[in-house]
Amino acid sequence: MSPALADKCAQRLSNLRCFNERDYFDLQPDVRTAGADYAGHALLYGATEGRALFKRETVARALGEMVNGRARENLDQEACNGTSAARIASKIQCVNIYVSSRGNVFMNEIAADLAEDLRQVGVETKLLDETADMSTCVAPSLFIAPHEFFTLGRGVEWLRDEVLKHAIVYNTEQIQTPWFSRGIPAMLGASGIIDISPQTAQLFKDAGARAMHWEPGIERRKPSFSQTDLLHPLMRVLPKAARDVARTFDDWADRPLDISFFGTDSPRRDSVFGRHAGRFADYSTCIYFRRQSLGPLDGNSADGALTRIAEHVSRCSKISLNIHRDEFSYFEWHRMVRQGMAHGSLVVTDPCLPHPYLKPGVHFFQEEPRHIPNLIDWILGSADGQSKASEVVANATSLIFDSRFRDEHTRVALAFIADHSSKKEK
């Protein structure tokens, strides 16, 4: 990264409401120097060394001010001047989509979903990884999960001006995590940022970066299993009706599992599930905790079966639970939408940051963790609860599988990408 680009990135970092130089000073006592450029140090050294860049209190304050303060611009409605998707697509012949070959399997899924969204509106796409020739990186190029792509394996070599000037990065990480901090140099150095979180996208935009919010569309997919998947211990402990992978459950009430949850462990989740274990035990339940020490799911290993099993379990579940890993209540798109709603399961979550179009009580249920067992009792144990649950599931399914709705959001993203391309051509 050139000194000029580094200076630009450091200025953007200073402008981020979740970053405070005094915080960084407090977090890093070994770099305390009078007159030091703490934003520059955080960018060039802190991020790559795995240092904490943000205080959790400052992150919480920034998100709280955004949610509770003045009405924010809806990033999903950025002006496209009424141009049709076909006309916008005509400006772009191809979008290269890069994703790390050494990263989390979920990122490969997101890359494939975004590629399909673009193909649906007439844009050719190519899925590539860090082993590709760097000369393939021409405008526009979309880099999925910059915290992985630019930090793992040969991806480190791609963090340079000639790549970043063509790059739009797609961030999936939450601000308070160490992975978000790792991705900061690439995100702030890129030509544009697309974020899976509307709140994070707005924070980037407020800091002077070109940013927008865009979530992958959802396609109806048939289950995909190997013989090895069917022998996995998790499959073998499911109720008999849930082990039949060819069976579909058209009626929500006929699903053999009442409650399911798939995710990594955390102190907060341990506390919630431990407190309510007795209540959940009254139901047919599948809860899988993966230890964080095992690292991310690798699609190239035996762990790849877990993503397919998680989707299958959701297809068999009346309720898909979402419990946030910590006090930062981001809308967990992958678990709530791709894994839960996309498979006809009712999502029950603890309170989330606002979503632009998926609303509690309409597309999912949300409740404080201490009251979630009571909510589940009402949903599963009363006629009113089951009726409302069926209505909410139908609302969610109708919206996320609406191809016109999906294409409209892709159109907005294309306008963002096309604007990026036209500026690079000038």
Helix (H) or strand (E) holding 403: helix 403-425
User: Does 45 score more than 80 pLDDT?
Assistant: yes
Confidence of residue 423 (pLDDT cuts 50, 70, 90): low
Position 148 scores a pLDDT of 95
Q: What is the DSSP string of 151-168?
A: TSGGGGGG-SHHHHTTEE
Annotated domain spans of the chain? 3-216+406-422, 227-381
Confidence of residue 426 (pLDDT cuts 50, 70, 90): very low
Helix (H) or strand (E) holding 5: helix 3-15
Confidence of residue 83 (pLDDT cuts 50, 70, 90): low
Percent of the chain with pLDDT over 90: 60
User: Does 72 score more than 90 pLDDT?
Assistant: no
Section 17-41 average pLDDT: 83
Position 137 scores a pLDDT of 83
User: Does 169 score more than 70 pLDDT?
Assistant: yes
User: Does 140 score more than 90 pLDDT?
Assistant: no
For the chain, state the CA radius of gyration.
22
**Judging by beta carbons within 10 Å of its beta carbon (0-12, 13-18, 19+), is residue 44 exposed, middle or buried?**
middle
User: Does 413 score more than 80 pLDDT?
Assistant: yes
User: Does 420 score more than 70 pLDDT?
Assistant: no
Tokens of 127: 């899925």
Position 228 scores a pLDDT of 82
> DSSP 3-state helix, strand, coil percentages of the chain (rounded to 5)?
50, 15, 35
pLDDT tens digits for range 191-232: 999 999 999 999 999 999 999 999 999 888 777 777 788 888
Section 381-409 average pLDDT: 94
Its pTM stands at 0.91
| Secondary structure (H, E, C), 255-292 | CCEEEEEEEECCHHHHHHHHHCHHHHCCCCEEEEEECH
Largest CA distance in the chain: 67
Position 71 scores a pLDDT of 40
Residues 305 and 229 sit within 8 Å (Cβ to Cβ): yes
pLDDT tens digits for range 233-274: 888 889 998 988 888 777 899 999 999 999 988 999 999 999
User: Does 42 score more than 50 pLDDT?
Assistant: yes
Strand, helix or coil for residue 405 = helix
pLDDT tens digits for range 286-320: 999 888 777 776 766 667 788 888 989 999 999 99
Position 329 scores a pLDDT of 92
Residues 140 and 92 sit within 8 Å (Cβ to Cβ): yes
Architecture of domain 227-381: 3-Layer(aba) Sandwich (3.40)
Position 85 scores a pLDDT of 56
pLDDT tens digits for range 311-340: 899 999 999 999 999 999 999 999 999 999
Section 390-402 average pLDDT: 96
Can you tell me the distance from the alpha carbon of 17 to that of 334, in angstroms, rounded to the nearest whole number?
A: 26
Position 126 scores a pLDDT of 94
**Cis-peptide, bond into residue 216, ω within 30° of zero:** no
To 5 degrees, how large is the angle CA 47–CA 53–CA 56? Answer: 145
User: Does 171 score more than 70 pLDDT?
Assistant: yes
